[in-house]
Amino acid sequence: MPASSPSLRILCPNGHLGFAPIKTASFRIGLDRAPDLICADSGSCDVGPGPLGADVSSSPLQWQRHDLEYMLLAARRLGVPMIVGSAADTGSNSGVDRFVGIVKDLARDHRLARFRIGYFYSGVGKDYLRRKITAGDTIDGLDGRPPLDLATLGATDRVVAMAGVHPYIELLDRGADVVIGGRSSDCAIFAAPAIRKGFPEGLAYFAGKVLECASFCAEPYAGKESVLGEITMSDFKVTALWPEQRCTTASVAAHTMYERPTPFYEHFLGGHIDMRDCRYEQYDERTTRITGPKYVRATELRAKLEGAGKLGERYVGLVGVRDPYTIENIDAVIAWARQQAAERFGTAGYELHYSVYGRDAILGALEPLKRSPSHELCVVVQAIASTQELAREVCMTGTRQMFYARLPAVKGTAGGVAFLLDEVMPASPAYRWTVNHTVRVDDPLKLFPTFITEAGV
Amino acid sequence: MTARKLSEIAKTVRSKNAGVDKITFDVIFAERADYDLVRRSGVLSRAAVCRLFGIPESRITDYVEFDPALAIKFTILRSVASGSPGDADIFGSQQYGPLLDLAVPSE
């Protein structure tokens, strides 16, 4: 299919929509450039396994509404499609419903003329995966994980699959003016409308890869500013819109490797792009032009799965240490507190974690300076157990017993540590990523049911 | 022989999750000469990175010198998945700290 127009201009106001509000000045500049679409990604697994597991959004509703309002009013005024993928951080079904609800509320509040919302879900039922495993259709692990087994699946609360371009194209074909997507590959959100219009797949996916974090592909460093991408049959150009920023060959090339293991390949449902032969040229002061990304079709369709499982309720305690001898022997102090917990609760049925700030909390075993701790430490104690009551008591034991640690040569005999608060604090329940795998699918729409609804008056 | 710290030479030194089980490190230079100097010095070689972080080479999943961005990039497997209890860097965004003080010999 030839392109119906010589180019497609996509305005992206935000990477991870909702995580922090968009800066509206550069978005307005972008609207003056006559974009053909307004697209944004709203998801990330960077927020940890908790939001997916508990099925909550890690972003405030007000910020999500703020960004969706700017995008929706502009898209309806210009009469161009608006696409948001991986709704509400996790792209779970409830996140999609939440965004569809916000768009409907906004349409009513602003008395927008009637329009179509297309949406799709990315949630995957555990029964479906159980049948796959039982039938011997291996659910392969990523990044060195073993294949998914029934026990790990059983310990999982929620699973989403990463959609490719397919449900987006399907919904645009069915006349959607606004598309709200479940969990999706970032680049697919932007690639879908371009591929649908007949632009080369390599350039389309590459455009999505560059645009999905908005102004992160420009310099100097600034988040939440808009950028404009333009795809033609032979190249892709990206322009910084905030007047302080430029898209340079270096900034765009650097962005292709951002939060990815390699700058050369990007995988998604249906294939990958090979970026080894990409050429980056400074097109004008604020614009970089890219040619050469290649699309490679997959021989087997595999969808990436993300899943999280609950470990338990959680309490947190804070412990300060200033005595140099106690600092030197902080592991013995922690061992003492663990021992007191073990004597009271046994060694199973709960977890105690100690993070020693001022020594190696952030890097753990990777810390080269762990043998030269600071003159004062903060130890963060986390206790995880099946009930809040038990988690609280384990945390209290693991925290307060550091006060009573029996170090043979300690000078201070009126309390071995300092408390900021003589209490332990409830935290969100603890989860872990149980699923980071891929599942074989025959049909790229199989896991992503699509729906059309209407909004406005 | 004089030496400068990597933080004085590189434009950007950063770390970030690459999925939930990996952390990727990017060291980016403004000038080609600086990029070449650090590459030749070997202070960011696979072996040097392993020594610095005290990890076996099998923990490094990718290692790339990426000319278009004047960047040296490597990716390691996490010992604990992002956000699991005990992980204190959910985004993986502070793991680059030890790179900043690496001494790069002048030639």
Cβ distance of B98 and A363 shorter than 8 Å? yes
Residue A351, strand partner residues: A384
Q: A431 CB contacts (<8 Å, ≥6 apart)?
A: A48, A49, A50, A52, A53, A54, A157, A308, A309, A310, A311, B83
**pLDDT the model gives residue A5:** 56
Measured between CB atoms, which of A261, A263, A432 is closest to B84?
A: A432
DSSP conformation class of A202: H
CB–CB contact B69 A355 (8 Å): no
Average pLDDT over residues B59-86: 96
Which residue in B75, B81, B83 is closest to A261 by CB distance?
B75
Four-residue CA torsion sign, A230, A298, B16, A46: positive
β-sheet bridge partners, residue A78: none
Chain B contact for A19, CB < 8 A? no
| DSSP structure string for A11-29 | EE--SSTTSSPPPHHHHHH
What letter does residue A164 receive in the DSSP assignment? Answer: -
Residues ≥6 apart with Cβ < 8 Å to A47: A58, A89, A90, B83, B90
Q: Which residues of A touch B80 (CB under 8 A)?
A: 364
A327 CB-near residues (< 8 Å, 6+ apart): A321, A358, A373, A374, A375, A376, A377
B34-71 pLDDT per residue, tens: 999 999 999 999 999 999 999 999 999 999 999 999 99
Predicted structure pTM score: 0.94
Which residues on A lie below 8 Å from B85 (Cβ)? 311, 314, 351, 353, 382, 384, 430, 432
Do residues A27 and A38 make contact, with C-beta atoms less than 8 angstroms apart? no
CB neighbour list of residue A441: distance below 8 Å, 6 or more residues apart: A269, A301, A302, A303, A447
CB contact under 8 Å between B98 and A361, yes or no, is no
Q: What is the rounded distance in angstroms from the CA atom of residue A95 to the CA atom of residue A121?
A: 9
Residues of chain B positioned with their CB less than 8 A from the CB of A257: 24, 26, 64, 66, 69, 71, 73
Q: Is A358 exposed, middle or buried (0-12, 13-18, 19+ CB in 10 A)?
A: middle
B55 vs A47, A278, A366: nearest CB: A366
Least Cα separation, residue A111 to chain B (angstroms): 40
Residue A417: both structure tokens together: 């540590």
> What's the burial of A272, exposed, middle or buried (CB within 10 Å: 0-12/13-18/19+)?
middle
User: Residue A263: which of B52, B64, B89 has the nearest Cβ?
Assistant: B64
Question: How many CA atoms does the CB half-sphere of B21 hold within 13 Å?
Answer: 17
Contact criterion met (CB < 8 Å) for A47 and B66: no
**What is the rounded CA–CA span in Å between residue A379 and residue A238?**
46
Reported ipTM: the value is 0.95
Q: Across the interface, do A314 and B66 touch by the CB < 8 Å criterion? A: no
Q: Which residues of B touch A254 (CB under 8 A)?
A: 12, 26, 28, 69, 71
Give the pLDDT of chain A (457 residues) as one tens digit per residue: 444 558 999 999 999 999 999 999 999 999 999 999 999 999 999 899 999 999 999 999 999 999 999 999 999 999 999 999 999 999 999 999 999 999 999 999 999 999 999 999 999 999 999 999 999 999 999 999 999 999 999 999 999 999 999 999 999 999 999 999 999 999 999 999 999 999 999 999 999 999 999 999 999 999 999 999 999 999 999 999 999 999 999 999 999 999 999 999 999 999 999 999 999 999 999 999 999 999 999 999 999 999 999 999 999 999 999 999 999 999 999 999 999 999 999 999 999 999 999 999 999 999 999 999 999 999 999 999 999 999 999 999 999 999 999 999 998 888 889 999 999 999 999 999 999 999 999 999 999 999 999 999 9
Q: What is the pLDDT of residue B107?
A: 78
Q: Is the pLDDT of residue B1 over 80?
A: no
Question: Residue A6: its pLDDT value, please?
Answer: 86
Q: 10 Å Cβ neighbour count for A277?
A: 11
**What pLDDT is recorded for position A1?**
45
Give the nearest partner residue to A280 out of B28, B68, B97, using CB atoms: B68
Q: Does A427 touch chain B (CB under 8 A)?
A: no
Closest-CA distance, A162 to chain B, in angstroms, reads: 13
The answer to whether B83 contacts A361, with C-beta atoms less than 8 Å apart, is no
Which of A47, A250, A367 faces B70 most closely, judged by CB atoms? A250
The residues in A 285-344 lying below 8 A from B, measured between CB atoms, are: 306, 311, 314
Please answer yes or no on whether A254 and B12 come within 8 Å at the CB atom: yes
What is residue A412's predicted lDDT score, i.e. its pLDDT? 87
